């Protein structure tokens, strides 16, 4: 639909505003036209009365009627030398319905009287008082009918209306053509450029070249140009990384097979009777196992495409208790079993994906347990949760040795933030992605000799 477009709405608004301006001009114009209409009748009536006075009243009744008809009035009263004199008169068709004094009428009264005269229904008789021209007397009064004046006002209003329509259409057409050239055409060019770029964002030739002469449109084109350049560069980088990732995955796959063979050979070496070989075999096996784990983690990370969370309402405490029970069974086999504490209100309900929340907490708790067990000292892990106004805060706090400096600097970077020796750091990366998928955030609150604290923030559903 035309009037849903920018050009159509601009055209419609132009017509409305121009007509509104013409209406605002029309009302004072009607008042002014009415005043001039009455003043003209007063001047004609004054001329007719002066003609009668010049002839010392020696005119026929027929001529007096013609003078009154020419003036458009019924009678004329002229005040001269403080004497009020009925100069010309004829039968008045009805009583006087109103008296109007034009000698000192406020503007608001002129506007009101003009509209009232225009929309009057009956043809009434009014008395008008005014000053004679050329100081030919002190005061001039006439009686006249309102019907001819109303007809004249409507004729004048129709002329003004048609003129207003012509001016409105001409103005709207000129503005429409100007808007088409200065605004709509550049906008359509930007839209066409965006559509062409969307079909092949890697093609740098489709990046828009700013050319608009309007400042705002020029700025929009420049912003779009910069965004398209950045996006094209990012897509190229992404493509190169994808190719590199594919190569790494293939290398990791082949390397894993090679290492698996080497592990089998190392197992046989471990049974050797040579004491030196027996001592070296476990170290060799550990190194091979770490290499195999690295290859498997790389392949798993390359295949990772986490689905969006399947939200459901569930109680958080049973999930945490299940996790803690599993970790306790594992820790019971260690020389220094870890103590687990759960501080989650039984009534706390969480709207999230329970499977993904379990994976995130399992990663954090398992890392904390392994860090404490590696010290050979006793320790504890606490999982707590608190429901706040805007979301739920879940904390995992341990009394372990804290994260090493390298792990803190690259905590959520793949293959760089491993907290354990031989670790890849992928667990925290995946956990952070799962939390972000819920619109939340996983952050390290503190770490040091007194322990480490991670905080998971999950906002309430908006």
Burial of 80 (0-12, 13-18, 19+ CB in 10 A): middle
What local confidence, expressed as pLDDT, does residue 209 receive? 85
Q: Where are the domains of the chain?
A: 2-169, 215-303, 312-459
For residue 125, the cross-strand partners are: 96, 145
Structure tokens at 430: 């995946």
> Are 331 and 369 in contact, with CB atoms under 8 Å apart?
yes
CA distance linking residue 452 with residue 432, whole number of Å: 17
What local confidence, expressed as pLDDT, does residue 296 receive? 61
CA distance linking residue 284 with residue 264, whole number of Å: 11
What local confidence, expressed as pLDDT, does residue 336 receive? 82
What local confidence, expressed as pLDDT, does residue 270 receive? 63
CA distance linking residue 304 with residue 319, whole number of Å: 24
What local confidence, expressed as pLDDT, does residue 422 receive? 45
- Per-residue pLDDT of 227-278, as tens digits, reads 888 888 877 777 766 666 666 666 666 666 666 666 666 666 666 667 776 6
End-to-end Cα separation, the chain, in angstroms: 36
What local confidence, expressed as pLDDT, does residue 85 receive? 72
Please state which CATH class domain 312-459 belongs to.
alpha beta
> Are 52 and 64 in contact, with CB atoms under 8 Å apart?
yes
> Are 359 and 437 in contact, with CB atoms under 8 Å apart?
no
- Per-residue pLDDT of 289-321, as tens digits, reads 666 666 666 655 555 556 778 889 999 999 999
* Ranges in the chain, pLDDT < 50: 417, 421-422
């Amino acid at each position: 639909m035309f009037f849903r477009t920018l050009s159509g709405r601009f055209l419609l608004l132009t017509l409305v505003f121009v007509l509104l301006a013409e209406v605002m001009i029309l009302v004072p114009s009607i008042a002014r036209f009415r005043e001039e209409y009455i003043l003209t009748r007063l001047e004609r009536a004054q001329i007719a009365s002066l003609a009668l006075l010049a002839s010392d009243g020696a005119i026929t009744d027929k001529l007096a009627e013609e003078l009154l008809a020419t003036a458009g009035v019924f009678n004329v009263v002229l005040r001269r030398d403080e004497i009020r004199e009925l100069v010309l008169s004829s039968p008045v068709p009805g009583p006087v319905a109103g008296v109007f004094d034009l000698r000192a009428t406020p503007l608001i009264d002129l506007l009101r009287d003009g509209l009232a005269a225009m929309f009057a229904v009956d043809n009434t008789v009014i008395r008008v008082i005014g000053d004679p021209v050329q100081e030919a007397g002190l005061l001039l009064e006439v009686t006249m009918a309102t019907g001819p004046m109303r007809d004249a006002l409507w004729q004048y209003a129709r002329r003004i209306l048609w003129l207003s329509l012509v001016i409105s259409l001409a103005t709207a057409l000129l503005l429409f053509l100007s808007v088409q050239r200065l605004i709509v055409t550049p906008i359509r060019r930007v839209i066409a450029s965006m559509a062409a770029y969307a079909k092949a964002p890697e093609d740098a030739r489709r990046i828009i070249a700013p050319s608009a002469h309007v400042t705002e449109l020029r700025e929009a084109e420049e912003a779009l140009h910069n965004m398209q350049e950045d996006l094209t560069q990012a897509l190229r980088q992404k493509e190169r990384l994808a190719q590199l990732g594919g190569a790494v995955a293939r290398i990791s796959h082949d390397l894993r097979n090679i290492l698996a063979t080497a592990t089998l050979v190392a197992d046989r070496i471990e049974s050797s009777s040579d004491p030196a070989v027996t001592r070296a075999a476990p170290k060799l096996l550990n190194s091979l196992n770490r290499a195999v784990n690295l290859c498997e983690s790389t392949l798993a990370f390359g295949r990772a495409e986490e689905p969006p969370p399947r939200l459901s309402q569930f109680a958080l405490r049973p999930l945490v208790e299940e996790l803690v029970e599993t970790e306790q069974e594992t820790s019971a086999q260690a020389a220094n079993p870890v103590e687990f504490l759960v501080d989650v209100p039984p009534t706390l309900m969480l709207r999230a994906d329970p499977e993904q929340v379990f994976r995130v907490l399992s990663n954090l708790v398992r890392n904390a347990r392994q860090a404490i067990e590696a010290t050979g000292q006793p320790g504890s892990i606490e999982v707590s949760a608190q429901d706040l106004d805007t979301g739920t805060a879940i904390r995992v706090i341990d009394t372990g040795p804290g994260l090493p400096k390298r792990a803190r600097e690259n905590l959520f970077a793949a293959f760089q933030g491993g907290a354990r020796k031989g670790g890849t750091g992928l667990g925290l990366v995946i956990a952070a992605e799962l939390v972000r998928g819920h619109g939340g955030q996983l952050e390290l609150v503190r770490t040091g000799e007194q322990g480490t604290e991670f905080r998971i923030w999950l906002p309430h559903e908006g």
